[in-house]
Chain A
Amino acid sequence: MATRILRRTGVSNEICERLKRREIESCKDLLSLTPVEVMNAAGLSYEKASVLLQSVSKAIAPPFTTALELWKQHSDSCFSTSLPALDKLLRGGLPRGTITEVTGPSGCGKTQMCLMLSVLATLPKSEGGLDSSVIYIDTESAFSAERLVEIARSRFPGYFSSKERVLQMAARVHLFRELTCQDVLNRLERLEEDIISTGAGLIILDSVASVVRKEFDTTLPGNLIHRSNLLSHEATTLKYLAHQFNIPVVLTNQITTHVGDQGSAVSAEVDSSFVTAALGNTWSHSVNTRLIVQYVDAHQRQILIAKSPVAPFAVLNYTIQKQGICIDEKRRDTLGWKQISSHSESGSL
């Protein structure tokens, strides 16, 4: 990794000492310099400095593979959501090694989705699960263990018929309550150890938005950039963990109302105000898959696939029941373009 110390990459002691005097100790420090600066700091000729850069690069550059090898290795690259219609659209389920965001208004079912996925992850592979633990980072204190058990019992009555199995499942969901931004960041930094020690196969962060919006008032100068940096940091860490362990990461987000004005690049046909996912445009780039949940009426809700590398835009109707999310297989609404534009034109704060 970038923080690897130069000494351990095979660079000679003499050069290491010279660089240390200029406070260049890690590979990151060295590669952030221009070639002339490297020549200066290490006291080397141009050719020798190039050789040094090459050898350090070799030490930390990630290896190449081909798409064919990837295809051969990963037989199961998705995490099935146990909702056949959704799985079909997503070509298997939530893709491993990527970030999936579930966003929507409050009370719509985001936490329910997270609880349902937690149960699924603990199921054995024969039942369609990942047979692994779950790391659940809760920032809103919305996690309910009783609801978790209720979903498990109602959705898979055959499997969870004995109390033992239920307790086993509950023991595999590791809950971390983090209530401030700094706490969340610290937890993410240490998450590698937790993943290894618990054998986690799924990371859930519910929710990203609540702590951030509490602490950052974006009308104050400088806060927008600060918030963007924090979120980019979180996204980078999560993507790294997702990729290294080849596990899916699920996050929840909130929505915000964006009032259209002169400056936005929205055509005149759209309503002047619409809802869009919170946390801004930079965050929208950082997630790989985005699912939006929204209300139709008091009971009926919809789930939209708003951003996905494999799936087209689609709407599915669902309700929340005892066993969690239930997709209404028969109803298929056509996707109005209003709904597409509501998530795509994000420039909201």
Chain B
Amino acid sequence: MLGYVSWRDVLKKLTLAVTMQRPVSSLPLSPGMKLKLVGAGFQSTADLILLKPLQLSKETGLSQQEALEVLQAVRKDGGGGEGSTSLTALELLQKEEETRSIITFSSQLDAALGGGLPVGKTTEICGAPGVGKTQLCLQLAVDVQVPQCFGGVGGQVIYIDTEGSFLLQRVIDVATAAVRHCSLLVEDDEQRAAMMTFTMETILSNIFLVRCHDYVELLAELHLLPDFLSDHPRTRLLVIDSVAFPFRRFDDLSQRTRLLQGLAQQLVAMATRHQVAVVITNQMTTRLQGNQSQLVPALGEGWGHAPTIRLLLQWAGSRRLASIFKSPGNVDATVQYRITSDGFRDADQSEQPQRKRPRTQTDQSASSQPDRRLLRCLSDV
């Protein structure tokens, strides 16, 4: 009769029913409706709690709209709304325009991503050893702190290091270069004032660092992160470098899959609830197909579903390429980048300040043909 209702909903409603019982006559409804309700035998709100609109309208003779109104009034009185309300795409569009992206300091990559790495979504960066995954993470940890008047997000960052690749000297270089870059762009008083809080020391103080040695410490840390994020509401970036290393040697693969899926869900929940960009790095593993071996992202095929955006960093001869191979909002694209002493940058020779360069479409001449076979095989993963 009730239809399918989850046991938690029932529990919640019964709790409400017990604690808050009011006579139907006290509800803010029109007298005609109240008369019909009482006439059908509903005396107090407790009787109405577990009903659905269609059933109510049949029993009382109210129209469907009226029945819905009655139940909404009852629920409002009850104090607890139902779990999550839905959004329309229009509201989401407005929200997404307000949400900023974290720039990478490579204008081509930012353009391909539609502005940068989106806050509120999870992004995976995978690639061969030494190609620049950690470099990009360090760059992002500095970029997230760029003040809002310069086009940045002005947030803090949590950096979970599982490999020991967070080298302080490198962060100092990248931070110093970013400060120098922004100070060249100062145009007005607001930006001048912002530069007072954007110094190398403040940048370092806004990076919260934790070193996890195995997957249990990582899982424990993730359990505690929601509280940390609530205590530090300015956090806009969470980096896990890398999520693959602690999970590489696992005897029980089905347990690993389970744990990874739980982990992925937690990350997605944290990203949306606390409005942080979650960036995870993944390693590559060798997959044998007959006699040939290929490098594919590690952690199995199921893991590919978890992140919203997937970036692949790879070599093509002596050039470094960044390919977007999963993104709901952008076209799959490949751009070239390089790692300089200042950090992650475009492959162009000239070092033009970011803001002054007009945003163009992804530059076709600079991007190269990625290895089609590798990308195709990744999309099968």
Contact = CB atoms under 8 A, between A and B. Distances in A.
A347 B293 contact: yes
B272 to A, nearest CB: 19
Contact of A71 (B158, B204, B294, B315): B204
A47 B203 CA distance: 38
B211 to A, nearest CB: 6
The main secondary structure of chain B at its interface with chain A is mixed
A57 B223 contact: yes
A56 B131 CA distance: 37
B317 A67 contact: no
B292 A288 contact: no
A287 B129 CA distance: 9
Interface stretch (A146-154, A189-197, A226-234): A226-234
A63 B221 CA distance: 9
B314 A265 contact: yes
B249 A97 contact: no
B317 A267 contact: yes
B318 A67 contact: no
B257 to A, nearest CB: 12
Contact of A61 (B131, B164, B224): B224
A62 B211 contact: yes
Contact of A337 (B205, B207, B317, B373): B317
A54 B223 contact: yes
A67 B207 contact: yes
Given A53-B223, A64-B208, A77-B169, A265 B374 contact: yes
Given A267-B316, A349-B293, A2 B214 contact: yes
Nearest to B216: A2
B286 A281 contact: yes
A127 to B, nearest CB: 23
Contacts of B288: 224
A307 B315 contact: no
B219 interface: yes
Interface stretch (A25-33, A105-113, A156-164, A174-182): A25-33
Nearest to B261: A34
B220 A65 contact: no
Contacts of B249: 228-229, 232-233, 236
Given A281-B286, A341-B315, A62 B373 contact: no
Interface in B265-288: 283-286, 288
B168 A70 contact: yes
B128 A92 contact: no
Contacts of A77: 168-169
Given A62-B210, A92-B169, A68 B204 contact: yes
Indicate the size class of the contact surface on chain B. Answer: 35 or more
A136 B162 CA distance: 26
Interface in A56-82: 56-58, 60-68, 70-71, 74, 77
B220 A27 contact: yes
B130 A290 contact: yes
Given A64-B210, A95-B167, A232-B248, A285 B129 contact: yes
A224 B286 CA distance: 10
Contacts of A92: 169
A297 interface: no
A337 B318 contact: yes
Contacts of B284: 281, 285
Interface residues of A, number: 72
A256 interface: no
Contact of A66 (B129, B205, B212, B318): B205
Contacts of B221: 57, 61-62
A242 B164 contact: yes
Contacts of B130: 284, 290, 306-307, 343-344
B165 A240 contact: no
Contacts of B128: 281, 284, 344-346
Given A32-B255, A34-B258, A57-B223, A67 B216 contact: no
A20 B340 CA distance: 54
A29 to B, nearest CB: 9
A98 interface: yes
A282 interface: yes
Contacts of A27: 216, 220
B164 A243 contact: yes
A63 B220 CA distance: 11
Contacts of A270: 317
A61 B163 contact: no
B210 A63 contact: yes
A202 B101 CA distance: 43
Contacts of A264: 292-294
A91 interface: yes
Contacts of A267: 316-317, 371
A74 B316 contact: no
Interface string B244-258: 111011010001001
B259 interface: yes
23 contacts: A31-B220, A56-B220, A61-B217, A62-B210, A64-B210, A64-B228, A65-B208, A67-B209, A70-B209, A95-B167, A95-B169, A99-B164, A229-B248, A265-B314, A281-B295, A282-B283, A282-B285, A285-B284, A309-B134, A337-B317, A344-B315, A345-B128, A347-B294
Interface of B: 128-131, 134-135, 158-159, 163-165, 167-173, 201, 203-214, 216-217, 219-221, 223-224, 227-228, 242, 244-246, 248-249, 251, 255, 258-259, 262, 283-286, 288-289, 291-295, 314-318, 339, 341, 371, 373-374
Interface of A: 1-2, 27-28, 31-32, 34, 53-54, 56-58, 60-68, 70-71, 74, 77, 91-92, 95, 97-99, 224, 228-229, 232-233, 236, 239-240, 242-243, 261-265, 267, 269-270, 280-282, 284-288, 290, 306-307, 309-310, 312, 337, 340-341, 343-347, 349
Given A281-B284, A286-B163, 7 more contacts: A31-B219, A242-B164, A243-B164, A263-B293, A264-B292, A270-B317, A309-B165
